Structure 1
Amino acid sequence: MMPVPRLMMFVTGLFLVCLPIVSMAQGAQVAFGSSQQDRNLPVEVTADNLNVNQNDGTATFTGNVVIGQGEMRLTAPRVLVVYLAGQTGIESLEATGGVTLVSGPDAAEGERADYNITTGIIEMHGDVLLVQGDNAITGETLFVDTNAGTARVSGRVKTVLQPQARQ
């Protein structure tokens, strides 16, 4: 996978070159990842720092945070983990400061991501970019259903679709 700055430059260049085929809509439904995500798999977190608050059942990871669950990877500068009552498991993850989400061949970027482990729904907000192969979609919000392997982009959506090459 290309580093994030190169990815952004590539997609920006792609937009400039392909402006005539850009389509705009209020929302777009797309697939995300190569298969359904098993949310029962363990969640592995690595980071530079960890602060735990026993009083409110949270843990804050900061600095180069990488979270993995199955084939899905999420990276961010800061992630707040909210535990279930009794600390029997994870309820949700709140990633902020510029987030990258990768699942199989698909990648998404945004300013913030909230992952509800119980429902399997990830919401990304703030200048979201979704890249799937040669295709790119931008919008304000991305909703990923990890159970169904689907995603929906909303909020002034722009899409660049590459036509198939003729043989």
Structure 2
Amino acid sequence: MLRISRWLMAFCLVMLFAGVVHTAQEGEMVPIKVTSDKLSYDATGQKVTFEGNVHVTHPDAQLWSKKIVILLTADDAKAKTKSEDDSAMDPGQIDKIIAEGDVRVKMTDGKTGNCQKATYNLGTGILVMEGSPVLTDGPNSIQGDIINFYVKENKSEVIGSSALPVEALFSAPKRTKK
């Protein structure tokens, strides 16, 4: 189970493709490349949306999805000094990252993850994978209805349902006969 928790932590870092948590902890910048068919920015709603064939490349992993939405919160210090006539964009701070539609992650070491929706809330430090989430590490895999990973506590939980119970498959060394 420790291997799955480590993998989930790595997945969280990939989901933070903007590098917010990773660079704050490591103190170094890493190149993050995002490609998509369309990018839109809504200054009023404080939202950046990548749509269509979204591909995120990080030195440790790649992520694919149909759509990624980044929700921002306004910088309070700038908001207080900004006049009503000031129409300049305020990119704010990242609050939440949501990947939707055939979300797929592949780590450089071969570990993979799939789900329909992955939401990371930077404030709470919780990553929620929904829509038939599956994590694999070689022959090991875990799946359920929802996978929650609590980044700050470095713990995870897999929640099943009657339609999609928790299923964990772990390989163990073959026992030899004496």
Contact conserved, 1:34 with 1:149, CA < 8 A, in 2?
no
Tell me the residue number matched to 1:90.
94
Task: Give the SS at the match of 1:31.
Answer: helix
Contact conserved, 2:104 with 2:115, CA < 8 A, in 1?
yes
Contact conserved, 2:8 with 2:149, CA < 8 A, in 1?
no
Aligned pair partner of 2:49 in 60, 69, 78: 60
Matched, 1:144 2:149: yes
Matched, 1:154 2:159: yes
Whichever structure has more strand as a proportion of its residues is: 1
Tell me the residue number matched to 1:32.
6
The Cα offsets for residues 47-79 of structure 1, whole Å up to 9 and x where unpaired, read as 221011111110110112123566354321111
Distance 1:120 1:65, change over 3 A: farther
Distance 1:112 1:136, change over 3 A: same
Tell me the residue number matched to 1:7.
none
- Unaligned runs of at least 5 residues, structure 2: 14-18, 24-28, 76-90
Which range moved further: 101-110 or 117-126?
101-110
Tell me the residue number matched to 2:39.
50
**Which has the higher relative contact order, 1 or 2, with Cα contacts under 8 A spaced 6 or more apart?**
1
Distance 1:125 1:60, change over 3 A: same
* Matched residues, number: 140
Task: Give, in whole Å, the separation in 2 of the partners of 1:72 and 1:149.
Answer: 20
**Could you tell me the TM-score, scaled by structure 1's length?**
0.68
Task: Give, in whole Å, the separation in 2 of the partners of 1:134 and 1:63.
Answer: 31
Cα root mean square deviation, aligned: 2.9
Amino acid of the structure 1 residue aligned with 2:101:
G
Contact conserved, 2:66 with 2:100, CA < 8 A, in 1?
yes
Contact conserved, 1:112 with 1:125, CA < 8 A, in 2?
yes
Contact conserved, 2:40 with 2:49, CA < 8 A, in 1?
yes
Amino acid of the structure 2 residue aligned with 1:33:
W
The Cα offsets for residues 110-153 of structure 1, whole Å up to 9 and x where unpaired, read as 11110113343211101111102211111111123445654322
Tell me the residue number matched to 1:135.
140
**Larger gyration radius, structure 1 or structure 2:** 2
1:62-77 → structure 2 map (5 Å cutoff): 62-68=51-57, 71-77=60-66
**Could you tell me the TM-score, scaled by structure 2's length?**
0.64
Tell me the residue number matched to 2:85.
none
Contact conserved, 1:32 with 1:106, CA < 8 A, in 2?
no
Task: Give, in whole Å, the separation in 1 of the partners of 2:156 and 2:119.
Answer: 14
Task: Give, in whole Å, the separation in 2 of the partners of 1:123 and 1:34.
Answer: 11
